[in-house]
Structure 1
């Protein structure tokens, strides 16, 4: 069966998926990444706890990168650079490219500065976090109203977006999925702990909107993360 080659064929599918469109005839069990829909999110979330408990050194290192990056916000506060901390937190609070969550359009909203301040206040108001930082940053959802598993997932993915881009390209090469040059609003630089703006990368795209798509390893995904507000 050949790949779908035009938009009319794509739209005839009830829920067009990237694998269907490009003629990748593999089921989810045979792929390392979670198959995404073009037009809406899939109701799964990256659970940072799964990276932490993974036997993979790579996953553990990525969890460390996420945790260190989040705790760097506390360093900025102590250096009287609160505006920089707020700016980073606001801009990493949404990651539409990964297509995870419950949005029917794959487009979500970032948190506002007020909510970012509430998150940063945890470093100020809870001495343990102010002194030692977070071991599992996802516990912030237990303190802050409006911060839940989808937000935690987006923050985690934004912190390691550079890795996920490389992972996506690798999976595209393995499965014969084409990539195109796109401009991402920002990519977090772990070495510098800053956002690099308007970065050109090569990724698979939605054939209609040309919006970039980033894959996530399915081993990181859960519907209900290990640490989540609903259990408390």
Structure 2
């Protein structure tokens, strides 16, 4: 008989409790209702957290660079790809099958660089501000984009702490 609602540690026969670990133990069949908050990374006294925030902002503002160079389709494709991060397993999905944003929603986000002159000129300092301008963008989308932009760090962190 299979394990009902297994966590990754159950599946691999690892005997550790959540209290013993400094990372969230993921379920195999659904997301954990946790989120990465880029504002808290920025506000953290940890230089590592602050550098992760800088990396996220630079990655997001690279979309503006592409827009300014006339590569709007490439910027849109990158944003759509970054809008769902199933590998991390955070968010609201009950089946671990999140849905990426649509082309129209990506265009709406990317257009902020053109519609708001300060963003087009200087980029975002806190890209989570897109929630104020674009309907349907909430903490889970912001978290997924963050996770995709810092995925290599998260993979390395997980490897180091298993």
TM-score scaled by structure 1?
Answer: 0.67
Q: Which has the higher strand share?
A: 1
**Which residue is 1:12 aligned to?**
3
**Which residue is 2:12 aligned to?**
22
**Which residue is 2:44 aligned to?**
54
Distance 1:119 1:104 in 2: 26
Spell out the pairing of 1:189-200 with structure 2 (5 A cutoff). none
Matched residue SS, 1:86: helix
Q: Which runs of 5+ in 2 are unaligned?
A: none
1:128-163 per-residue CA deviation (whole Å, 9 max, x = no partner) reads 211111111011111111111111111000001111
Deviating runs (4+, > 6 A) in structure 1? none
Matched, 1:63 2:53: yes
Spell out the pairing of 1:49-128 with structure 2 (5 A cutoff). 49-128=39-118
Distance 1:79 1:61 in 2: 26
Distance 1:47 1:110 in 2: 19
**Which residue is 1:168 aligned to?**
158
Distance 1:162 1:147 in 2: 24
* Superposition RMSD in Å: 1.3
**Which residue is 2:25 aligned to?**
35
**Which residue is 1:139 aligned to?**
129
Q: Which runs of 5+ in 1 are unaligned?
A: 1-7, 173-232
Distance 1:96 1:12 in 2: 21
1:82-110 per-residue CA deviation (whole Å, 9 max, x = no partner) reads 11111111111110011111111111111
Distance 2:60 2:104 in 1: 18
Distance 2:6 2:71 in 1: 45
Q: Which has the higher helix share?
A: 2
